[in-house]
Chains A and B, each alone.
Chain A
Amino acid sequence: MKNKTGNRITISTLIILFIGYNYNLYVKNTSVSSKTSLSHSALKGQKIWQTNNCTACHQLYGLGGYLGPDLTNIASNPNKGIEYAKSFFNSGIKSMPKFNFSENEKNDLAIFLNEVDQTGFYPNKNAEFNYTGWVDIKYK
């Protein structure tokens, strides 16, 4: 009986903490970057990204597939840039399907990638390593 009560108290405590934690994540500000809000065009671009499952091959912040390059900072990459990325959208190069995006769709997708770029760095090359194992990442 003692164990049973202890279990119930533990699980109730965890659930209360979980609710508070989720409230903070869902409602409060989660991000530290100066730009997080996507514009209307970027949201349209995000929809194109999703419905064509670009994440199967490409990563954003290192999250996604492994067949293509990470595109987090493609827009600000001095050697590439957004026009370079756009030239690939309908190219069907290598394993990439040959998409038939309209000019508007290509623009929206480019705006999405551009705005993602403004949220932060990946890889975070100027991050600082701490002896505790912690990493101080740099923000945009």
Chain B
Amino acid sequence: MKNNFSLGFIILGLCALIFGALIGLLSSIVYIYPDFLKNIIPFNQLRPLHTTTVVSWIILTATGGLYFYISKIEKIKLFSENLGKLHLVIFILTGIGILYSLFSGKMGGREYLEFFPLLTIPVLLGWLLFGLNYFLTMTNKVKNWPVYYWMWGTGLVFMVYHLSEAHFWIFNEIRSDYIKDLTIQWKSYGSFVGSWNLLVYGTVIYLMSKIKGDDSIGRGKISFFFYFLGLTNLMFGWAHHTYIIPTQPWIRYLAYAVSMTEWIIFIHIVYNWSKSLSKEKKKLNILTYKFIIASEIWVFLNLTLALFMSIPTFNYFMHGTHITVGHSMGTTIGINTTILFASVTYIISKLTKNNPLENNKFVKSGFYVFNISLLLFWLVLIIGGIYKAIWMTNSANTSFSNLQDSSNMIYIIFIISGSILFLSLLMLTIPMLKKLIFFMFKKGNNTDSLMI
């Protein structure tokens, strides 16, 4: 594994994605056949297996990308290669522990962090080592940081902070105050997602500056303005998750006000598109660039949804429905996964002479199948959410069981689109995995000799 540990993170991430997507697909079948897998692994274990592994995909692949870009592309000598390798080993062992915890049903039971709570300690340790390595590498060697270095650095710090915050419930003073506990729990989740988004969005800005060969992308005043706007939303804009909880109104007022600043991002995206679309067409034949453009479309769609969810009146009807699932699927798959695919294809293009993925027929068609099936998947969740919202406003008339039974057609389309989406993920990830594994374990090979 000479100098190739960054690829180890990405390979692990891709495996987590395939496994997580498969579990997600199996979980969706339970909506139609409630007894499906019930006696082997019930839904209360399936769902956390799905959510934990897909979140791991995002974090592991973003992490591997960061290590790779800094040490292999930017040629900045890491403070310690061994710390990076130790980080990988800790995450592999913790991953095994988490899988054991979820398969065996020894859970902590906080949504999205259902694994046994003590396993958070090695996760935090891994990130602390990563943070230490990052800041000790970058602070003295790089002057005048571009925005993506700031994003990666602050993303790391806030990930450590908010994952710790998500465990404040272990203190009796917090746990015994139910509303405070719920508020802090969802505050930490909202901000934790914002933190990993800093890693992922930092990656896309980095890739854009590399593909366009324009370093100013990461250095302009506008880039820093949007970075600080995103950071402000990460810190104070999470409360749209909890508008409906009886918290002090100032918490919700502040979140409403801060969330509305996202309109600036929205307008900026639309303005930029109209300006640059014709100029950039020629780059569309580059696979990495294709993924980046797809991610921009997904940002637009999900930001539109997020803006509505941040307005309390709309939130009132959308909260607790499948629209929120649509939003989380749209952001984690549409935005995060698409950007990370851009990152992986870029890394592979740097490892090989003639980027083999550009002409791979599975990858080429997989790209379109992925986006189309995801759009259908996303839309059906929104339709399911609207259906549930209507039911909720009239719920005195029918039972929840009736709602589920009458939603059968929605769930069938959900499963079909999910199956195609899973298939497209295989079409994209298997060729990527094959290339990365080949390069990682090829005898005498190391990533110091890139084909740049």
Give A contacts to B, CB under 8 Å: 3-4, 7, 10-11, 14, 17-18, 21, 25-26, 29-33, 36-38, 43, 46, 49-57, 59-70, 94-95, 97, 115-116, 119-120, 122-124, 127, 129-130, 133-135, 137, 139-140
Smallest CB–CB gap between A118 and chain B, Å? Answer: 9
Q: A62-B320, A63-B182 are in contact. Are A7 and B150 (CB under 8 A)?
A: yes
CA distance A50 to B169 in the complex (A): 11
Q: A53-B109, A97-B38, A97-B42 are in contact. Are A120 and B245 (CB under 8 A)?
A: yes
Task: Say which one of B210-218, B248-256, B277-285 lies at the interface with A.
Answer: B248-256
Residue on A nearest B260 in the bound complex, by CB: A133
Check if A50 sits within 8 Å of B221, measured CB to CB: no
Q: A62-B319, A70-B320, A115-B178 are in contact. Are A25 and B183 (CB under 8 A)?
A: yes
**Residues of B with C-beta under 8 A to A97:** 38, 42-44
Residue on A nearest B312 in the bound complex, by CB: A135
Flag whether B175 is at the interface (Cβ < 8 A).
yes
Check if A30 sits within 8 Å of B180, measured CB to CB: yes
- The residue that A30 contacts in the complex, of B183, B221, B393, with Cβ under 8 A, is B183
- Could you mark each residue 258-277 of chain B with 1 if its beta carbon is under 8 Å from any beta carbon of chain A, else 0? 00000000000000000000
CA distance A11 to B186 in the complex (A): 24
CA distance A139 to B249 in the complex (A): 11
Residue on A nearest B407 in the bound complex, by CB: A66
CA distance A25 to B187 in the complex (A): 10
Smallest CB–CB gap between B51 and chain A, Å? Answer: 9
Task: Say which one of B231-239, B290-298, B368-376, B423-431 lies at the interface with A.
Answer: B231-239
CA distance A3 to B352 in the complex (A): 38
**Residues of B with C-beta under 8 A to A60:** 182
Smallest CB–CB gap between B248 and chain A, Å? Answer: 6
Residue on A nearest B179 in the bound complex, by CB: A31
13 chain-A/chain-B pairs, Cβ below 8 angstroms: A14-B231, A21-B236, A30-B183, A31-B177, A31-B183, A38-B178, A52-B109, A61-B245, A70-B320, A123-B244, A123-B393, A135-B315, A137-B244
CA distance A56 to B246 in the complex (A): 23
Residue on A nearest B144 in the bound complex, by CB: A4
Residue on A nearest B117 in the bound complex, by CB: A50
Check if A94 sits within 8 Å of B111, measured CB to CB: no
**Residues of B with C-beta under 8 A to A139:** 246
Check if A32 sits within 8 Å of B400, measured CB to CB: no
Check if B180 sits within 8 Å of A31, measured CB to CB: yes
Check if B182 sits within 8 Å of A61, measured CB to CB: yes
CA distance A120 to B245 in the complex (A): 8
Check if A31 sits within 8 Å of B248, measured CB to CB: yes
Check if A50 sits within 8 Å of B109, measured CB to CB: yes
Residue on B nearest A10 in the bound complex, by CB: B228
Check if A119 sits within 8 Å of B246, measured CB to CB: yes
Flag whether B140 is at the interface (Cβ < 8 A).
no
**Residues of A with C-beta under 8 A to B392:** 123
- Could you mark each residue 86-109 of chain B with 1 if its beta carbon is under 8 Å from any beta carbon of chain A, else 0? 000000000000000000000111
Flag whether B311 is at the interface (Cβ < 8 A).
yes
Smallest CB–CB gap between B372 and chain A, Å? Answer: 24
Check if B43 sits within 8 Å of A67, measured CB to CB: yes
Flag whether B325 is at the interface (Cβ < 8 A).
yes
CA distance A121 to B242 in the complex (A): 13
CA distance A119 to B247 in the complex (A): 10
**Residues of A with C-beta under 8 A to B109:** 49-55
Q: From A4, A33, A133, name the one whose CB has the most chain B CB atoms within 10 angstroms.
A: A133
Check if B35 sits within 8 Å of A33, measured CB to CB: no
Q: A61-B245, A95-B43, A139-B246 are in contact. Are A37 and B235 (CB under 8 A)?
A: no
**Residues of B with C-beta under 8 A to A54:** 44, 109
**Residues of B with C-beta under 8 A to A57:** 43-44, 47
Check if B248 sits within 8 Å of A30, measured CB to CB: yes
**Residues of B with C-beta under 8 A to A116:** 178
**Residues of A with C-beta under 8 A to B110:** 50, 55
- The residue that B30 contacts in the complex, of A61, A67, A69, A130, with Cβ under 8 A, is A67
**Residues of A with C-beta under 8 A to B180:** 25, 30-31, 36
Residue on B nearest A18 in the bound complex, by CB: B235
Residue on A nearest B35 in the bound complex, by CB: A95
Q: A36-B177, A51-B109 are in contact. Are A133 and B48 (CB under 8 A)?
A: no
Residue on A nearest B30 in the bound complex, by CB: A95
CA distance A4 to B248 in the complex (A): 37
Smallest CB–CB gap between B175 and chain A, Å? Answer: 7
Residue on B nearest A65 in the bound complex, by CB: B47
Residue on A nearest B45 in the bound complex, by CB: A53
Check if B48 sits within 8 Å of A56, measured CB to CB: yes
CA distance A139 to B111 in the complex (A): 25
Check if A55 sits within 8 Å of B320, measured CB to CB: no
- The residue that B176 contacts in the complex, of A43, A64, A95, A140, with Cβ under 8 A, is A43
**Residues of A with C-beta under 8 A to B17:** none
- Could you mark each residue 19-30 of chain B with 1 if its beta carbon is under 8 Å from any beta carbon of chain A, else 0? 000000000001
Beyond A7-B224, A123-B244, A135-B243, 16 additional contacts (C-beta under 8 Å) are A3-B224, A18-B235, A21-B236, A33-B179, A37-B176, A38-B178, A52-B107, A53-B44, A53-B109, A54-B109, A56-B43, A56-B114, A60-B182, A95-B35, A135-B312, A135-B313
